[in-house]
Amino acid sequence: MENLELFILHFGYFAVFTFLALGIFGLPMPDEVVVTSVGFFTSNGTLHYSIALPITILGVFIGTLLTFYIGKWIGKPLLRKGGRWIGIKDQSIRTTEGWIKKHGPITVLFGFFIPGMRHIICYISGMGGMKTKTYLLYVLIGASVSTIIYLTIGYYIGIPFLHPGGEVID
């Protein structure tokens, strides 16, 4: 968390976007934690909510789009070759594809509200053959709504840590 704070203090909104776009790799922490932290930084004046919101949504969107395309391009071949080493069978892959075809859009939409699941669901959506246009629509809705919620929670969590004059309580 301290590194996130230093990075945001030094690089500002670029740091927010970068952390979220690289969220696919779990760096430096799950997206939900980063977005909530950004909300905290808006409450103490380090960042402005109205600027942080669209940048945060864009970072989340780009990060999940990367995850989707990784799943689409290398997901199945990777699982077919390496999955047997961890117990994943072809039948499991076919079952997942069927699930995505039947429930994919709603799974993507609600996956944004299950901490730690957004990238897994986005990867599986790409691997499962979800149409890109469908994915883009539902991921944009999910990314926008979840970002507004997590950012606002972070903002309101941060308010009690401020003195009436606005200084941060250590």
The answer to whether 58 and 140 have CB atoms below 8 angstroms apart is: no
The reported pTM is: 0.82
In a domain? residue 39 = yes
Q: Residue 38 has what pLDDT?
A: 94
In a domain? residue 41 = yes
In a domain? residue 91 = yes
Give residue 3's region: left, alpha or beta (phi > 0; psi -120 to 50).
Answer: alpha
In a domain? residue 45 = yes
The mean per-residue pLDDT over the stretch 123-146 comes to 92
Of the ranges 14-28, 95-109, 137-151, which one carries the lowest mean pLDDT score? 14-28
Q: Residue 162 has what pLDDT?
A: 54
Q: CA–CA separation, 13 vs 32, rounded Å?
A: 17
DSSP class of residue 8? H
Q: For residue 77, how many C-alpha atoms fall within 13 Å in the half-sphere facing its CB?
A: 4
In a domain? residue 118 = yes
Q: Residue 163 has what pLDDT?
A: 46
Q: Report the percentage of the chain scoring pLDDT > 90.
A: 38
Write out pLDDT tens, residues 8-63: 889 999 999 998 998 766 555 778 888 999 999 999 899 999 999 999 999 999 99
> Total structural domains in the chain?
1
In a domain? residue 168 = no
In a domain? residue 166 = no
User: Residue 121 — pLDDT band, cuts 50, 70, 90?
Assistant: confident
